[in-house]
Amino acid sequence: MRILITGGAGFIGSAVVRMAIAKGHTIFNIDKLTYAANLENLKDISDHQNYSFLQTDICDAKRLNDVFDSFKPDAVLHLAAESHVDRSIDGPDAFIQTNIIGTYTLLTAARNHYENLPIERKNEFRFHHVSTDEVYGDLDIDDPPFEEITAYDPSSPYSASKAASDHLVRAWGHTYGLPILITNCSNNYGPCQFPEKLIPVVILKALHEKPIPVYGSGDNIRDWIYVDDHADALLTVLEKGTVGSTYNIGGNNERTNLELVQAICELMDAKFPNRKDSYKDLITFVTDRPGHDRRYAINASKIKTELGWTPSIGGNDGFEKTIDWYLNNEAWWKPLLQSEMVGKRLGTQAS
């Protein structure tokens, strides 16, 4: 397929681009290149004959229309989004602009492209919107996991903006007949994740022997999925999913934040024994963030039953692979820690 991917220089987006190229698709990647994007994530395929890149904002309607006119995609895989909850609490404006206005602008351009396609290409066109499990809100410990029919109840400016974008995509499918797909995924981790996210924070704090912050008492529960599994699921849905459907994607790897941090510390103890005692001694409990959801959990039976997809990496295997990547790729993350904005935010600014 000829796939237009938005946000393809980000953490998840770059994993999708790399995998899509490996599967033989032709990719046009558009990315604004905000703080969390990094073209280094794509250096191995940047010169590939089936890959093109344009730095642009999904809120720029003219540039989007130009891309659709020139590239003529068979599908859109929409990953571009502001995605960090803490940042959304500090400054929600960017989340409203990118996640809601940007998605609307992209939908408008995609609809115009779709309506002018010949009938045989119309039947094959897809608009796949990538969302999050956070739109469903909070779960108690004994509640059943989120299903595709779970009512939306977002808690943060981030999740509210993603919920709004999901509603827009469904409306464009229902009202204008745009052939849409939506996926809602649990927490991702793996190589190339921006260092302000939890797992890179733990790894890099440990490497610098600095306090490892854990919100509240660490009893918040998340389901974790390795990023390459998510990328594979997204391409599976794009290729096989039923138009108009939503698919939840999960890693079947639910644990508390404290359990996760302790597991990473134990793996670090084995791989990088740089302390007399365990890295777990660096764990420091900090004031919880406002409106912190207690638990997210995914029922991913629909994608398994309908499309035959399940995650391939579970337990601590993905965490071990991720630690290895950060230990072996200091040249990727060190410049990010040295940047004033990120260094101050993480408290790990290198000397």
Taken as a whole, the chain contains a residue count of 351
Distance CA 236, CA 295 (A): 27
Distance CA 206, CA 45 (A): 32
Q: Which position among 134, 196, 223, 228 bears the catalytic label?
A: 134
Three-state DSSP string of 194-214: CCCCHHHHHHHHHHCCCCEEE
- 274-278 CB contacts, 8 Å cutoff, 24+ apart: 274/207, 274/209, 275/209
Report how far residue 217's alpha carbon sits from residue 248's, in angstroms, rounded to the nearest whole number. 28
Query: Which residue in the block uniquely carries the two structure tokens 């649990």?
Result: 186
Q: Give the separation between CA 326 and CA 184, rounded to whole angstroms.
A: 27
209 is catalytic: no
Taking the CA atoms of residue 160, residue 166, residue 169 and residue 173 in that order, the dihedral angle to the nearest 10 degrees is: -140
| Residue 287: Cβ within 10 Å count | 8
What is the distance between the terminal CA atoms of the chain, rounded to a whole angstrom? 47
Is 124 part of the annotated catalytic residue set? no
Is 158 catalytic? The answer is yes
Task: Tell me the three state secondary structure of residue 256.
Answer: strand
From 31, 57, 82, 133, the catalytic residue = 133
Give the sign of the dihedral formed by CA 241, CA 247, CA 252, CA 258.
positive
Tokens standing for residue 17: 């681009």
Select which of 158, 189, 226, 279 is catalytic.
158
Tell me which residues are annotated as active site. Answer: 133-134, 158
